[in-house]
Amino acid sequence: MTSNTADAIPRNQPIAMPAPLQSFAQRLFSGRNVLVVSLVAILSFLAVYPLAMLLYGSLHSTPPGMAGEFNLNGYKSILNWSNTVVLLNTVAISLGKTIPSLTLAVLLAWIIARTDTPWRDKLEVLITLPFFIPPILTAMAWGMLGNPQVGLLNQVWKWATGATVSPINVYSYGGVIWHMMQYSTPFLFLFIVDIFRAMDPALEESSRMCGASRWRTFRLITLMLMLPALTNSFILSLIRGIESFESPLFFGTPAKIEVITTEIYNSINHRATPDYQYATALSFAIMVMMFLLVVWQWWLLKGRTFTTVTGKGYAPNIMKLGKWKWVTFSFCILFFVITVVLPVGQLLIGSFFKFFGFYSYDMLTTEHYVAVFNNAEVWRAMGNTMLLGLLGATAVMILGSIVAYVSVRTKWRGRRLIDGLAWLPWMMPGMVLGIGFLWAFAMLPGPIPIYGTIWALMLAYVALGTPISVRVMSSAYAQLSYDLEECSRVHGATFMQTMWRILIALAWPSFAVGWVLAFFGIMRELSASILLYSVGSEVLSVVLLRLWANGLAEQVSVIGLMMMLLVILFRWVQLKLIKSRISTL
Amino acid sequence: MSAIVLENISKFFGAAAAVDDVNLQVETGEFVTLLGPSGCGKTTTLRMVAGLEQNSTGRISIGGEVVSDAAQDFFIPPERRHLGMVFQSYAIWPHMTVFDNVAYPLRIRRKSAQEIKDRVERALKLVEMGRFADRPAPALSGGQQQRVAIARALVFEPRVLLLDEPLSNLDARLRTQTGDEFRQLQKRLGITSLYVTHDQGEAMALSDRVVVMSMGKILQVGPPEDIYQRPHSRAVAAFFGSPNFIEAEVKACRSDTGGTFVLELDGGWIGPCHSTHEIKPGNKAAVMVRPENMRLVSGDRGPSATGMAWKGIVKESIYRGAHRSVMLDTSAGNLNIDLTALENPAVGAQVDVFAAENSAWAVPI
C-alpha cells in the first residue's frame, strides 16, 4: 500500500525522453522492480535451480561434473521390489510415529492449556525442549541407553529383575519410531497448544448449556473444531517423518531397516562406486511424493479453516482436576525425563567413563575431555558450525524478513511468485536438497568454486531455513496493523525511515526468535551437510557421526554435552525474548 | 413460584469479590436485566446461574429446585440445569450447519429424528431463519448467527433463558430491531429470561425489571421507569445519561403514599420534591433533574408554583440532530438542558429555565 502512494507522486525530471518510454524505463529500474527481480533470482537459485538440476541429474548417466549421456536408467533402476519395501517402510514408520505423537501432543497440549495442573508455564518449557535438541545427540544417547548388549536401561533392568534377556533393543522399527516421536511430539505440541488457547470458550460452554457433558463436549465440539488444524498437523508431521534421516540412520540401518533417505545416503556413501544417477532419480521421486502430499493437504483443508478457532486471545476454560492434577503433572515430568533427562544423563555418564557400557568406579576418567579438546578437527568443525550458524541464521532471517514483507505487506506484482519460491524448499528433504546442490555446484560455470567450501553448506542452510524464517516474520508483520506504518508516513517519515523506526523497531523480537530457530536448524542439520561437506568444511554434526562410526561414543558424549549447553543457553535467550514480546513459535 | 432465586450469592476470584452478597428473585415469565458497567459482576452472576461458574457462597434455586448450595458443597453442572443460553459471541459452531447447530441440544437428549426435524424447523421459523437451515454456520452474518443462537437456546424448551450481552456485537440499527423482536418473542412464549447488558437503552426497552449492579453489589432493582426516574441513589441516577444534580437544603420532610417522602427544599428556589429516602430537615439533598425534562420559558414569566426555575446564561450550544444540548450557567451551577432541535438560544443570551415538579427527584448526598 505504502509504495503505491509513492508512485502516485509525479516526478518532474528534465530528461529528454519520450514520456511513455521514460515512464517505462522508470518503472523498469525503480527500486521496487530491482528488489522483486533480485528476490526472484536469489530464491530461484536456492530452490528452483537445485530442483532443476535434480531432474537433470536423474537423467544423466555419470556423477556430477563428468561427461555422460542422457538416459532413463536411473528411473529404471529405482523401480524394483526392494525399493517398494523401502517406500512402504518409510510411509509405515512415518505413520507409526505420527499417530501416537499426535495423540500424545493433544493430551499434553490439553494438560498445559486447559487444566489447572501446577506450574504449567514451566512444564511447557520442559515439554518443548526436546524439539530444540539436535536429533543426532539423542540418537547417539539412545544408542547407548537402549543398546541390547550394554545399554544402560537394559543393564538397570537386568540388575533390578535378575533377568538375563535385554528387554529393549533400539535397533528396530520400534527404536526408529521411538526416536522420531521424541521430536514430533513437542513439534506437534507447539502447534496444538496454541489452538487450544485460541478457541473461544463460549463454543464449549454453549454445548454444556445445551445439555452435553464435559466429555461429550470435548468429543463433539472441541475435537471437531480442531479437526482441520489436527489434519494439517498430521500431514505436516507425516512429511517430516518421511524426510527424517537421523532416526533411520542410527536405529534402522543397523537392523537392515531402510527408508528412502537412508537408501539415498547409502547409494552414494556406502557403495563401492557411488551411484549418483540412482540416488538422484530416487530423490526426484521422493520430491514428487512430497508434492502430492502437499496437494492432498491443500485439498483437505480447502475452505475448512474455522476463523473462530484462530481468533483473538481468550481466557481459555480451565478444568479443575482436583487430585488428578498431580497425575497430569507427573505425566508431563515423565515425558521430560524420558526425552531430555535420560539422553542428556547418558551423555554425561558416557563422557566420564573409560568405555561406555562399563560403569564402575575405577573406569572414571576425564581423558575423553582431554582428547576432544586436543582434537583439531573438532575445533575446526566447531568453528565452522559457529560461523555457519551466525552468518547463515542472519542471512536466512534477512532474506525471510524481506520476502515476508513483500508477500504480506505489499500488493506488488510478483509477490505470490516470491512467496511460492521461498516456500518451495519446505517440501524438500535436506537429503534431496543436498543432492540437488551437488549437481547445481558441479554445473556452475568453471571459475566459481563453491563446492568444497563452507559456502556450499551455507547456501543449503539458507535454502532450508527460508520457509521457516518467512513464516515467523509473516506472522510478526501480520500482528502489526497497517495503521502503524501509514501513520508514520502521514507524519512525515519516508519509506525507509518508517521501515527502520516502526517496522524493524516493532518486529525485531520476532526476528531474534526466528534467528535462534534458524541457528538451531543449522546446528542440527545433518542430512544435507553429510553430502555437501568436504575436508576442511566439516560441521559438528558430521564430525559427531564420523566419531560415532569409529566407535568413539565417549568423545561423542563430550561434544554432545557442549552442544546441549549451547541449546539450553539459546533456548533461554529465546524464551526471555518471547516472554517480553509477542510469541511466534 | 419464583423461577430463579439467588440467596446471598458471592463469587471470589482469589481475595477479590466479583459478586458480593447478591439476593434476587426472578418470577416465572419475567424478563429481568442485569445492568452495570463492565466488571460490575453481572456476567459472573449470570454464569453462576448457568453453572459455568461455581458460587463461593450462597444458594441458587431454579424452578424451586436448588442447583447450587455453597454451604452444602452441592453443585449441579450446567448440562443438567436445563437452561438455554445465548452468548455474546453467539458461539455458533462453525463445523456444523444451521440445522445441526439448532438440533444439537435435541440430539444430546436422544430425541427421534422426526421430532428433531419438526422442532428445529419450528424453532428456526420462530426466529425467521427457516430458509437458512442448510447453510454452513460460518456463512451467516452477525444478526443471523444471533437468531440461530436464540433458536438453539429455545429449541429444547428450557426452564429459563440466559442471555449474555447478545446484542452487543450487532450494529446500532440492527440492535434496536433485534431487541424489539426478541422482546415480542419472549412475551409470546412467556419464557423467563435473565439478560445481561451494559447498554442502558437496551435494559429500559426490554425489561420488566432492571437490576443495576456496581462493584459486585446490587444498587437497585425495579421497573425501568423507577430506575430511571426514581433512583435510590446518586450512583443509579448517574448511571443513565448525564442528569443535573442541584444541591438543596431540606426544610421539611413528610411521608407520602407508596413509601416515598416529600421534601420541602431550598436550592435557589423553594418547592416540594419526592424521594425514597427520609432526609431530616437541615440536611442536604441532591435534586436530580434530567436534561430532557427542563425547558426554556419566556423571560417575562415568573417561576411557576408547581416547578422550579432559574435564570441563566447560555454558555454552550451543541446541535445533535434529534435535539440540541445547551449548557447554562445559573445560580444552581452549570445545568445541562436538552432542547428541541428547532430552538436555538444564542450563546451569551440570558434565559429562564424551568422544570416541572414531577420531573425532579431527590437523592441523599
Read off the pLDDT band of A12 (50, 70, 90): very low
Report the alpha-carbon distance of residue A62 to residue B58 in Å, rounded: 85
**pLDDT tens digits for range A377-399:** 888 888 999 999 999 999 999 99
To the nearest whole angstrom, how far is the Cα of A105 from the nearest Cα of chain B?
A: 22
Please determine, for residue A527, whether its predicted confidence score (pLDDT) is greater than 80: yes
Whether B225 and B289 map to the same domain: the answer is: no
Q: How confident is the model at residue A25 (pLDDT cuts 50, 70, 90)?
A: low
Q: Among B199, B234, B269, which residue terminates a domain? A: B234
B187 and B322 share one domain? no
- Domains of chain A with CATH codes: 34-61+366-585 (1.10.3720.10), 80-354 (1.10.3720.10)
Q: Name all contacts of A2-8 with Cβ < 8 Å and 24+ positions apart.
A: A2/A409, A2/A410, A2/A485, A2/A486, A2/A489, A2/A495, A2/A498, A3/A32, A3/A410, A3/A412, A3/A495, A4/A411, A5/A489, A6/A495
Q: How many helices (H) and strands (E) does chain B have?
A: 8, 21
Q: Which ranges of A444-504 would DSSP assign to H, the alpha helix?
A: 454-479, 482-490, 495-498
- Whether chain A has a CB inside 8 Å of the CB on B110: the answer is no
Average pLDDT of A556-578? 84
Angle at B74 between CA B68 and CA B77, to 5 degrees: 65
Read off the C-alpha cell for B22.
Answer: 447478591
The CB-based long-range contact list for A473-476 (8 Å cut-off, 24+ gap) reads A473/A397, A473/A400, A473/A401, A473/A403, A473/A404, A473/A405, A473/A507, A473/A510, A473/A511, A473/A514, A474/A404, A474/A407, A474/A408, A475/A510, A475/A584, A476/A404, A476/A507, A476/A510, A476/A511, A476/A582, A476/A584
Q: Which residue of B79, B85, B107 to mutate against A (max A Cβ within 10 Å)?
A: B79
Task: Judge: B77–A213 Cβ closer than 8 Å, yes or no.
Answer: yes
Residues B189 and B271 in one domain: no
Contacts of B88 in chain A (CB under 8 A): 202
Q: Are residues B223 and B248 in the same domain?
A: no
Size of interface A-B (CB pairs under 8 A): 73
Sign of CA dihedral B277, B278, B280, B282: positive
Given B234, B259, B294, the domain boundary residue is: B234
Q: What is the pLDDT of residues B92-128, one digit of tens each?
A: 888 889 999 999 999 999 999 999 999 999 999 988 8
CB atoms within 10 A of CB A355: 13
Per the document, the length of chain A is 585
Whether residues B16 and B108 fall in one domain: yes
Would you give the distance in Å from CA A140 to the centre of its chain? 19
Residues A433, A243: Cα–Cα separation, whole Å: 11
Do B70 and B137 lie in one domain? The reply is yes
| Inter-chain touch B109–A211, beta carbons under 8 Å | yes
Alpha helices in B26-171 (DSSP H): 42-50, 98-108, 113-126, 142-154
365 residues of chain B, pLDDT tens digit each: 678 999 999 999 888 899 999 999 999 999 999 999 888 999 999 999 999 989 999 999 999 999 999 999 999 999 999 999 999 888 888 888 999 999 999 999 999 999 999 999 999 998 888 899 998 888 888 889 999 999 999 998 898 999 999 888 888 888 888 899 899 999 999 999 999 999 998 999 999 999 999 999 999 999 999 999 899 999 899 888 889 998 888 888 888 877 778 887 877 777 788 888 888 888 888 999 999 988 888 755 554 557 788 888 999 999 998 899 999 998 888 999 999 888 888 899 888 888 888 888 888 88
**Chain A contact present for B169, CB below 8 A:** no
Residue A530 pLDDT exceeds 90: no
pLDDT of residue A84: 86
pLDDT band, residue A58 (cuts 50/70/90) = confident
The predicted-structure confidence for A245-287, as pLDDT tens digits, reads as follows: 989 998 988 888 889 889 888 888 877 777 888 888 888 888 8
Quote ipTM for the complex. 0.81
Residues B211-227: tens digit of each pLDDT:
999 999 999 999 999 99
Rounded to whole angstroms, the Cα distance separating B199 from B156 reads: 29
Q: Which of B185, B211, B234 is the last residue in one of the domains?
A: B234
Instruction: Work out whether strand B323-330 and strand B360-364 pair parallel, antiparallel, or are unpaired.
Output: unpaired
pLDDT over 90 (residue A516): no
- CATH classification at residue B329: 2.40.50.140
Identify all chain A residues contacting B80, using CB atoms and an 8 Å cutoff.
Answer: 211
Contact: A212, B79; criterion CB under 8 Å: yes
Three-state SS string over A233-283 comes to: HHHHHHHHHHHCCHHHHHHHHHHCCCCHHHHHHHHHHCCCCCCHHHHHHHH
Residues B257, B154 share a domain: no
Q: Are residues B16 and B140 in the same domain?
A: yes
Cβ distance A207 to B104 less than 8 Å, yes or no, reads yes
Q: Which H or E run contains B356?
A: strand B350-356
Residue B59 shares a structural domain with residue B182: yes
B292 and B214 fall within a common domain: no
Do B303 and B192 share a domain, yes or no? no
pLDDT of A414 reads 82
Do B129 and B13 share a structural domain? yes
User: Residue B162: which domain range?
Assistant: 2-234
Q: How many domains does chain B have?
A: 2
